C-alpha cells in the first residue's frame, strides 16, 4: 500500500512538472520585429525601467517601449512577438535576471530576451482568478514575487516555477515595481515647480488635456538616474517629467482608431477609421511611424463626430467619407468643413471617393453623388440617376482609364467623360471589388480575381476567403482577406506565402511604405517588413 501511494505521488509530481513545463513553453513563431501592430490609444497601466527601454503596460497595444537614449518610442511588443494578449495590466523588469515579466488578460508571461520568445503561465495555475487580482510585481535576489489581494505568490525568478503562497513574504529585500493606481497619491509628489506643455493641466488626481477632458493617473516611476519620471494615464498617454528642464509633456504611441479603415499618403500618412471613443480622431504619421499627432473632432467646430470609412487627398485638402457625409480637411488652413444630404451625399457609409476632372465621385451602397471639389457644389451627373432609377446596390467604385467604373448587383458599368454610361460586364458572378493597380483594372467576384476581365486566380486558391483589398508589385499580388494575408506569385501561379495569424483578422486596406507593407485590420494598423 505504501509503495502504491509512493508510486502515485511520483506520477502526480511528474504530471505537475509536465504541466508547468508546458505552460512555460516559448512560442517560437515570432523571433523578430518584422511585424508591428499599432492599435487605438488605451489605458497605460504600469511602467518599468530596463537596460535600454522604459516599458509600459497598455490595455490594447501590448507592451510599449521608450528608448532611453534616443528619447523616442520603438516598436511595441504585441501578439506579433508572441504575447498571448494585447491587454497588459502590469509590466516588470527584474534587474537580477534581466527578464521582462508581464501580467495580461489570463496569463503571466516572461521573456529572457525582453522582446520575443515569450513563455506564459496560466494565472489560474497560480490561484489567481484574473489580472485584476494582481496588485504589484517585485523581485529579490532569488525569487519573483506577485502581490495579490489574497496574499503573496513566490516564483522562481528564472523558470517561473511556483514556490508557494503566503500572507506575508518571507524575504526582506524585495524591489517592487512602479507606484500603481492602487497606492498612487499625487499629493505626495511635488510638481509645483514644473511647467506642463501643450496646454495640459496637472491636478492632484489626474490631468486635463488641451480640450479640458480629464484622465486619471494610473502609475508613477522615477528613473534610476533621477533625470526623468513617468506619470501614466488611463487615456493612452504618458507624461514624461524632465528634471533638467522642469517640464512635464504628454506623449503617446498609439493611433486614434480602434479599427482603421482608410489611409492616404502625401508627405504624411493620414489614418482614420472607427473609434471606440465619443471623440473621433484622425491620425497623422510620418513614414517611420515615430511622429504621431492627432486631429480630434472635439478640437474643430466643423469636424463632424462620425466614424470614417474612406479618404482621398487632392491638392491641399483631404476628403474623408463618413456616415452619410463627407468631412473635408484643409491642411494649409487647418480648417474642417462637413457636407451631407444638402449636397446629395447618400445615406450609409461612404466607402469610396474618386476624383475625375474637377469632380469627386463618392458612393455608399445607397447611391452615388458627385461634388465639384473646387466649388464644393453638387454636380448633376447621370450616374446618380442611373443608380437610383434602377435600384442598384453599388459595391465598389473605381477610377480606371479616365472612366468611373462601378460594380453593382446587376453588373459592372462605366461612366465616361462625356457622361455616357456603358456596361462592361453583365456576368452573373457577383463582383464586389474593383481596384486599379499598375494601370490595370483588377476585379473580385465569387469565383476569383480577374485582371482586365480575365480570371487569373481561382477563389479556391485563396480558400474562398472574402477579399477586401489587393496590392500588386513585381508580379506579386497581396490579397487582404477576412482571415489572412495571402501572397500570390503571378508569374508562377501559386500561393507563395499565407499569413494567418490572430492579429491579422479582417484586412481591409493594403498600402506600402519602402520595404514595409501596411495593413489596416480589425486589430489595428499592422506594419510588415517584406
We report the CATH number of the domain holding residue 114 as 2.130.10.10
**Within a domain: 85:** yes
Look at strands 195-196 and 247-251 and give their pairing: parallel
Q: How is 268-319 classified by DSSP, letter by letter? A: EEEEEEE-SSSS-EEEEE-TTS--EEEEEGGG-TTS------EEEEETTEEE
Supply φ then ψ for residue 27, to 5 degrees. -85, 110
**Within a domain: 498:** no
Range of the domain at 139: 2-180
**Within a domain: 63:** yes
**Within a domain: 312:** no
pLDDT of residue 82: 87
List the chain residues with pLDDT less than 70: 1-32, 181-188, 427-428
pLDDT of residue 429: 74
**Within a domain: 279:** no
pLDDT of residue 28: 45
Tell me the C-alpha distance between 225 and 223, whole Å: 5
The pTM assigned to this predicted structure is: 0.86
Tell me the C-alpha distance between 426 and 446, whole Å: 14
**Within a domain: 101:** yes
What's the total number of domains in the chain?
A: 1
**Within a domain: 420:** no
Tell me the C-alpha distance between 325 and 338, whole Å: 7
pLDDT of residue 60: 85
Tell me the C-alpha distance between 75 and 37, whole Å: 8
pLDDT of residue 187: 52
**Within a domain: 349:** no
- Strand order across the 310-314 sheet: 310-314, 317-321, 326-330, 335-339
Rg of the chain over Cα atoms, rounded to whole angstroms, equals 27
Look at the chain and count its residues: 530
pLDDT of residue 133: 85
Amino acid at each position: 500500500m505504501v509503495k502504491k501511494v509512493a508510486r502515485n505521488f511520483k506520477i502526480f509530481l511528474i504530471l505537475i512538472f509536465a504541466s508547468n513545463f508546458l505552460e512555460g513553453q516559448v512560442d517560437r513563431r515570432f523571433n523578430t520585429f518584422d511585424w508591428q501592430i499599432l492599435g487605438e490609444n488605451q489605458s497605460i497601466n504600469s511602467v518599468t525601467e530596463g537596460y535600454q527601454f522604459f516599458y509600459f503596460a497598455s490595455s490594447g497595444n501590448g507592451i510599449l517601449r521608450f528608448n532611453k537614449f534616443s528619447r523616442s518610442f520603438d516598436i511595441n511588443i504585441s501578439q506579433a512577438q508572441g504575447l498571448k494578449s494585447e491587454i497588459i495590466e502590469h509590466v516588470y523588469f527584474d534587474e537580477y535576471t534581466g527578464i521582462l515579466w508581464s501580467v495580461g488578460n489570463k496569463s503571466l508571461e516572461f521573456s529572457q530576451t525582453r522582446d520575443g520568445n515569450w513563455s506564459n503561465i496560466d494565472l489560474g495555475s497560480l490561484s489567481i482568478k484574473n489580472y485584476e487580482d494582481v496588485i504589484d510585481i517585485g523581485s529579490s535576489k532569488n525569487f519573483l514575487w506577485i502581490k495579490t489581494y489574497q496574499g503573496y505568490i513566490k516564483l522562481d525568478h528564472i523558470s517561473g516555477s511556483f514556490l508557494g503562497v503566503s500572507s506575508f513574504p518571507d524575504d526582506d529585500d524585495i524591489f517592487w515595481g512602479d507606484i500603481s493606481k492602487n497606492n498612487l497619491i499625487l499629493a505626495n509628489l511635488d510638481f509645483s515647480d514644473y511647467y506642463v506643455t501643450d496646454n495640459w493641466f496637472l491636478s492632484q488626481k489626474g490631468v486635463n488635456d488641451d480640450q479640458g477632458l480629464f484622465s486619471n493617473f494610473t502609475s508613477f516611476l522615477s528613473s534610476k538616474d533621477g533625470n526623468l519620471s513617468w506619470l501614466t494615464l488611463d487615456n493612452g498617454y504618458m507624461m514624461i517629467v524632465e528634471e533638467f528642464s522642469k517640464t512635464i509633456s504628454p506623449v503617446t504611441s498609439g493611433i486614434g482608431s480602434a479599427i482603421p479603415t482608410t489611409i492616404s499618403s502625401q508627405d504624411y500618412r493620414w489614418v482614420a477609421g472607427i473609434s471606440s471613443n465619443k471623440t473621433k480622431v484622425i491620425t497623422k504619421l510620418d513614414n517611420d511611424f515615430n511622429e504621431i499627432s492627432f486631429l480630434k473632432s472635439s478640437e474643430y467646430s466643423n469636424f463632424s463626430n462620425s466614424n470614417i470609412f474612406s479618404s482621398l487627398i487632392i491638392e491641399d485638402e483631404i476628403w474623408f467619407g463618413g456616415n452619410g457625409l463627407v468631412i473635408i480637411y484643409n491642411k494649409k488652413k487647418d480648417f474642417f468643413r462637413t457636407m451631407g444630404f444638402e449636397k446629395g451625399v447618400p445615406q450609409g457609409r461612404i466607402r469610396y471617393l474618386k476624383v475625375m476632372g474637377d469632380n469627386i465621385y463618392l458612393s455608399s451602397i445607397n447611391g452615388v453623388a458627385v461634388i465639384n471639389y473646387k466649388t464644393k457644389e453638387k454636380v448633376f451627373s447621370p450616374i446618380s440617376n442611373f443608380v437610383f432609377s434602377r435600384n442598384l446596390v453599388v459595391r465598389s467604385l473605381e477610377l480606371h482609364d479616365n472612366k468611373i467604373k462601378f460594380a453593382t448587383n446587376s453588373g459592372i458599368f462605366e461612366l465616361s467623360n462625356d457622361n455616357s454610361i456603358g456596361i462592361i460586364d453583365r456576368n452573373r458572378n457577383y463582383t464586389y471589388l474593383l481596384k486599379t493597380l499598375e494601370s490595370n483594372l483588377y476585379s473580385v467576384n465569387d469565383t476569383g480575381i480577374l485582371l482586365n476581365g480575365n480570371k487569373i486566380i481561382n477563389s479556391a486558391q485563396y480558400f474562398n476567403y472574402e477579399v477586401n483589398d489587393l496590392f500588386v508589385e513585381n508580379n506579386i499580388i497581396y490579397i487582404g482577406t477576412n482571415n489572412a494575408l495571402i501572397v500570390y506569385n503571378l508569374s508562377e501561379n501559386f500561393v507563395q506565402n499565407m499569413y494567418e495569424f490572430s492579429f491579422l483578422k479582417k484586412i481591409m486596406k493594403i498600402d506600402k511604405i519602402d520595404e514595409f507593407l501596411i495593413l489596416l485590420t480589425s486589430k489595428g494598423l499592422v506594419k510588415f517588413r517584406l
